[in-house]
Amino acid sequence: MMDRTSGSKKVHRADKTHQHINSAYSTGEVKSDAPLKGSAKIMPDAKAQILLNSLRNLIFPLIQNVVPTANDKACGPEAELFLVALQNYIVSIVHPQTAQNAVAGLSEKVVNLDGTYYSLSSMYIKVFKSKIELDSPQVHLKKDEVGRENALKAVEVTESNMVIPRHINDEQSIGLQSLLTDLHERVFNRLPIRLLYFKKQDDSNLLKISLLYRSEIYSTLTEALTRRYMCMPWNDPDRLWLIDSVTRYAILSHTWLRSDSGEITYDLWRKRDFDLLHPGYRKLVQFSRAALEDHGMSLGWMDTVCIDKSSSSELDESIRSMYKWYEDGSICITYLAESASVAEMANDLWFTRGWTLQELLAPCTLKFYDCNWNQLTSSFNDKHHEGVLEQIKLATSITEEELTGYKYPTRKTSIHPISRRMQWAAKHRVTRGEDTAYSLMGIFNVSMSIAYGEGENNAFVRLIKEIINTTKDGVLDIFNWAGTYHSTSSFLLPSNPQAYLQRDENLNVPDIPMEPLIVTHLGLRVPVLIFPFIETNIRPAEFAPKGDFFGMGTIRFAEEQWGSYPLTMRNCLILDASAFDSKNSFNERRYALIVLNCTGDERIINVPRQCFAIAIEYYNTEVLMSPLTAKYKVHTSHPITFQIQSKNSAMVPVQRDIWDAPVYHLKPSELQQHGIQFLSMYL
In the sheet where 331-335 sits, what is the strand order?
Answer: 118-119, 108-112, 206-213, 194-200, 299-301, 250-253, 331-335, 366-369
Residue at a domain's end among 454, 472, 502: 502
Whether 372 and 341 have beta carbons less than 8 Å apart is answered as no
Within-domain flag for 231:
yes
Q: How many CB atoms lie within 10 A of CB 542?
A: 4
Same domain for 473 and 561, yes or no, is no
Same domain for 196 and 320, yes or no, is yes
Q: How many CA atoms lie within 13 A of 254 on its CB side?
A: 24
Angle between helices 145-154 and 214-230 (to 10 degrees): 70
Residue at a domain's end among 502, 535, 555: 502
584-608: pLDDT as tens digits: 555 567 788 899 988 887 788 888 8
Give CA–CA dist 431/674, Å, rounded. Answer: 52
Give CA–CA dist 568/558, Å, rounded. Answer: 7
Select from 223, 201, 220, 222 the least CA-distant residue to 211: 220
Same domain for 490 and 523, yes or no, is no
Same domain for 303 and 427, yes or no, is no
Same domain for 491 and 558, yes or no, is no
Within-domain flag for 158:
yes
659-669: pLDDT as tens digits: 677 888 888 88
Within-domain flag for 389:
no
Same domain for 562 and 468, yes or no, is no
Give CA–CA dist 158/168, Å, rounded. Answer: 21
Residue 442, Cβ density class (10 Å: 0-12 exposed, 13-18 middle, ≥19 buried): buried
Whether 326 and 251 have beta carbons less than 8 Å apart is answered as yes
Residue 399, Cβ density class (10 Å: 0-12 exposed, 13-18 middle, ≥19 buried): exposed
Which alpha helices (H) appear in 11-112, and where do they start and end? Answer: 44-63, 77-94
Q: DSSP 3-state assignment of 77?
A: helix
Same domain for 137 and 221, yes or no, is yes
Enter the DSSP assignment of 393: H
In the sheet where 663-666 sits, what is the strand order?
Answer: 599-600, 605-608, 663-666
Q: What is the DSSP string of 272-296?
A: T-S-TT-HHHHHHHHHHHIIIIIH-
- The Cα diameter of the chain in Å comes to 117
Q: DSSP 3-state assignment of 511?
A: coil
End-to-end CA distance of the chain: 72
Q: How many CB atoms lie within 10 A of CB 152?
A: 21
Same domain for 481 and 573, yes or no, is no
Within-domain flag for 635:
yes
Within-domain flag for 152:
yes
What one-letter code names the amino acid at 350? W
Task: Please state whether beta strands 250-253 and 331-335 pair in parallel, antiparallel, or not at all (unpaired).
Answer: parallel
Ranges of residues in the chain with a pLDDT under 70 are 1-51, 53-54, 56-170, 202-204, 233-239, 260, 405-414, 536-543, 558-570, 580-588, 620-623, 649-650, 656-659
Within-domain flag for 625:
yes
User: What pLDDT is recorded for position 630?
Assistant: 81
| Sign of torsion over alpha carbons 281, 286, 292, 295 | negative
Give CA–CA dist 68/85, Å, rounded. Answer: 13
Within-domain flag for 25:
no
User: What pLDDT is recorded for position 8?
Assistant: 39
User: What pLDDT is recorded for position 23?
Assistant: 31
Residue at a domain's end among 477, 502, 527: 502
Whether 478 and 612 have beta carbons less than 8 Å apart is answered as no
User: What pLDDT is recorded for position 119?
Assistant: 32
Per-residue exposure over 281-307, b if at least 16 CB sit within 10 Å of its own CB, e if not: bbbbbbbbbbbbeebebbbbbbbbbbb
Within-domain flag for 645:
yes
User: What pLDDT is recorded for position 294?
Assistant: 93
> Residue 429 belongs to what domain range?
417-502
Same domain for 425 and 541, yes or no, is no
User: What pLDDT is recorded for position 128?
Assistant: 26
Report residue 90: phi and psi, to 5°. -70, -40
Would you give the distance in Å from CA 606 to the centre of its chain?
A: 39
Q: How many domains does the chain have?
A: 3
Same domain for 545 and 491, yes or no, is no
Same domain for 522 and 489, yes or no, is no
Element of type H or E holding 664? strand 663-666
Same domain for 586 and 634, yes or no, is yes
User: What pLDDT is recorded for position 482?
Assistant: 87
